[in-house]
Chain A
């Protein structure tokens, strides 16, 4: 069977550095941080009150009250991002009645909805007091189920939970399904709730930066003085489809997904290693059938944790050697968008590729022994480039790598 070319025809995002692609572009170019100090977290017993700040969208008037009632916080972000992506892809509402469109969306929690629902039930001692929408907010597939309902999707439909690689795997799996002929168009992406409930146990293991005196300087991937990640979130959507479908519709072609690699570390539940990410990188590069020198930019997973960044720098150096593509972690601005990150970082990198710049890895003042071996962009670089690679790694040792190329007929 002939493998099909898979292209990106729409992107959308709602994040702490912008509520749409245009706002995000400006933040990426200027190196603007979206991190704040949230006193409520301190009151709750958090070790670190740092977080990405994101305003909940007002969907009244935009979406029927019934859908809003089924929607958890992360679904709201995903919905806004998806509207933007569909608009860019020139997919109107009536399109879904005549075409089989699928959804594979990354999400790995819906903690706040679950906790609030059970608080009500415990207080009232009556399950019906949770209301008719709670069950749909409380399932991990909440995002894919609400978006598939709103847009009347009739293709593949499920959520991908792969920890902090969820969004990346959703694109990788959609790429695989389209490439092999199972679907023509898939809405993919990642969503992440941003609230004190969802991140509490993550804070509890001491993974977060405690540089609370200077929130915008706290997320500092690859920097020698990094002390942990800053939790964040939002929603990011990427529309994937066959090249043939995109051309026949006259849709804009923003890039071509040419490689997907994955691996599992087979080790510790939270501590990453070098071998797993290296295998994911190598698999993706082989899949893309390109040479290392052709990859001009790497959007690193680097979250600003001491061990994670060190191992990723080692893996990049091990794989790329003397080929030294620019590397930056946009998490230096956004914080760690967790389940959303793998998708949002594809959106961010596409924005860069289309506007001829590489966003800075802000707060990188001094490299350590390992980050000194890779070519980190510490300030904005005006540069046209054609190919980028994006890494995403998650708890349990799940790794995902994607390579996207500027479309050429």
Chain B
């Protein structure tokens, strides 16, 4: 989508769609908080996450790409690596 997207931009976009789609408080999304538990994700929710990433960042991920992601910071790093 954007080859010069900064980490701050990635975080803002990500947090906004997570709050919107998973209906959690923005305050609960902290860099060291666990993604799965904070968003209460089940296996089907990860499919929605694939759609959201495609929608907001314009690239496709596989569900197995989420395996190494534990915290929100891991998630931001993963996304930033793909868009920068």
Q: Which residues of A contact B (CB under 8 A)?
A: 60, 65-66, 69, 124, 126, 128-133
Indicate which residue in B23, B47, B54 contacts A132 across the interface (CB closer than 8 Å): B47
Q: Which of A69, A124, A128, A133 has the most CB of B within 10 A?
A: A128
CB contacts under 8 Å to A, within B31-48, are 42-48
Closest to A128 in B: B50
Q: CA separation between A129 and B50, bound complex, in Å?
A: 7
Report if B21 contacts A (CB, 8 A). yes
Contact A69 B48 (CB under 8 A): yes
Is B22 a contact partner of A132 (Cβ separation < 8 A)? no
Contact A65 B22 (CB under 8 A): yes
In chain A, what residue has the closest Cβ to B55? A129
Task: Say if the beta carbon of B51 comes within 8 Å of chain A.
Answer: yes
Q: How far is the CA of A65 from the CA of B17 in the complex (A)?
A: 14
A126 to B60, Cβ gap below 8 A?
yes
- A133 pairs with B54, CB closer than 8 A: no
The docked-state distance in angstroms from the alpha carbon of A272 to that of B13 is: 58
Q: In the assembled complex, which residues on chain B have CB atoms less than 8 Å from the CB atom of A126?
A: 60
B contact patch SS: helix
Main secondary structure of the interface of A (DSSP, over half): helix
A133 CA / B51 CA spacing, docked (Å): 11
Whether A131 contacts B54 in the complex (CB less than 8 A), given A65-B22, A66-B42, comes out as no
Chain A residue at minimal CB-CB distance from B61? A128
Closest chain A CB from B19 CB (angstroms): 11
Residue of A nearest to B52 (CB): A131
A131 B51 Cβ-Cβ under 8 A: yes
Select the residue from A60, A65, A133 with max chain B CB neighbours within 10 A: A65
A-B contact pairs, 7 of them (CB 8 A): A66-B42, A66-B44, A124-B54, A126-B60, A129-B51, A130-B51, A132-B48
Chain A residues in 8 Å Cβ range of B50: 128-129
Within 8 A of A (CB), among B10-25: 21-23
Q: Which residues of A contact B45 (CB under 8 A)?
A: 66, 132
Please name all residues of chain B whose beta carbon is closer than 8 Å to the beta carbon of A66 when the two chains form the complex: 42, 44-45
Which residues from chain A contact B54 at a C-beta distance below 8 Å? 124, 129
Contacts known (A65-B21, A65-B22, A66-B42); A131 close to B48, Cβ less than 8 A: yes
* Chain B residues in 8 Å Cβ range of A132: 43-48
- For B45-67 the 0/1 string (1 means CB < 8 A from A) is 11110110010000010010000
Interface contacts beyond A66-B44, A126-B60, A129-B54: sample of 17 additional A-B pairs, CB < 8 Å, sorted by A: A65-B21, A65-B22, A65-B23, A66-B45, A69-B48, A124-B54, A128-B51, A128-B63, A129-B50, A129-B51, A130-B51, A131-B48, A132-B44, A132-B46, A132-B47, A132-B48, A133-B48
